Amino acid sequence: VWLWHWWQRRWWLAGLIAISLVVFPVWYAKTTLFQVTVLATPGEPVLIIQDQGKITLVNSGDANTARFTVLPFLQQQGVNQIDAAIRCCTPRLAKGTDTQVTNNGWSTILERLPITNFYNEPAIGDSTSQPNFEFAVQSRKGTYQTLAAGRSVETGSTDVKLLDADLPVLQLQIQGQNWLLLGNLQPDQQKQLATKIGLSNLQVLAWSGERLTDDLLKVLKPSVAIASSSSVDPDTVTALRRNKTQLFWTNRDGAIQWSPKGGFEATLELTENEASLL
């Protein structure tokens, strides 16, 4: 009886203990997690790096992709701000084209989440909407910078580098691994890249699923290739298999996740395995 009265007088302590048992494991998991996710998006790779509570987002996709794929994932992960956002390797626009189309995804994300540091690729063609988006980032107390070719940018423990001002190629050093994100390259651009790229020990190649030439693949020799697309060029698939490259395809495998301990996992496969246990 005396113990019951003792707890009645200290109900707040019991509540605090109960809250701690729920909150602390969630907080600990979030602040110790390192994970890279390539979302299941069409057209361009969208990467999210979770680095001990810090969030880096590379590309946003269009407005629908941002609204129905990127934001739901970030919400599920309990993200309330983006520490570094990088826009790179988007389709090259002809002069006179309204770039608001390519900014729509970022605008959709910025409406929901503040961006601390936004890094944009060098302007290509008409960039009439760029000042508006720059102002929008700064109005939410973020900084807006342009990526300089050959210069590394640190985002948490990850180094990011735009390899060439004229070619849509982004290198990421992630936990000692080389990742390469390719935009859509014409065959002549791929030839140019193959002759000038100075990259060895490429672990991961992320691209849109378009055709990659044999010459470029011989230079890159990726251990893992991730195609963000509803389809993958058949000749490229054959070449990757010939080179014993592990191929993931987001339309087939869903989002692809990598962690230092777990390696690469396809989320559709994980979902199916979990469902089989129910």
From the number of C-beta atoms within 10 Å of its C-beta (0-12, 13-18, 19+), residue 252 rates as middle
pLDDT exceeds 70 at position 93:
no
pLDDT exceeds 90 at position 25:
no
What is the pLDDT at residue 196?
Answer: 79
pTM of the model: 0.83
Are the CB atoms for 155 and 175 separated by under 8 Å?
no
Q: Structural domain boundaries of the chain?
A: 33-276
Give the residue among 100, 107, 104, 49 at the shortest CA–CA distance from 73.
49
What is the pLDDT at residue 165?
Answer: 81
Instruction: Please state which of the four CATH numbers 3.30.390.30, 3.40.50.300, 2.40.50.140, 3.60.15.10 is assigned to the domain occupying 33-276.
Output: 3.60.15.10
> How far apart (Å, rounded) are the C-alpha atoms in residues 160 and 57?
12
pLDDT digits (tens, 9 = 90+) for 37-64: 999 998 789 999 999 999 999 999 999 9
The beta strand positions in the chain, using DSSP E, are: 34-38, 47-51, 54-58, 82-87, 115-120, 143-146, 152-155, 158-162, 169-174, 177-182, 202-207, 224-227, 246-249, 256-259, 263-266
pLDDT exceeds 50 at position 11:
yes
Are the CB atoms for 56 and 26 separated by under 8 Å?
no
Segment 69-95 mean pLDDT: 86
What is the pLDDT at residue 278?
Answer: 29
Rounded to 5°, angle at Cα 111 from 127 and 69: 90
pLDDT exceeds 90 at position 100:
no
Segment 238-252 mean pLDDT: 95
> Among 170-174, 194-198, 213-217, 259-263, whose mean pLDDT is lowest?
194-198
pLDDT exceeds 50 at position 274:
no
What is the pLDDT at residue 126?
Answer: 40
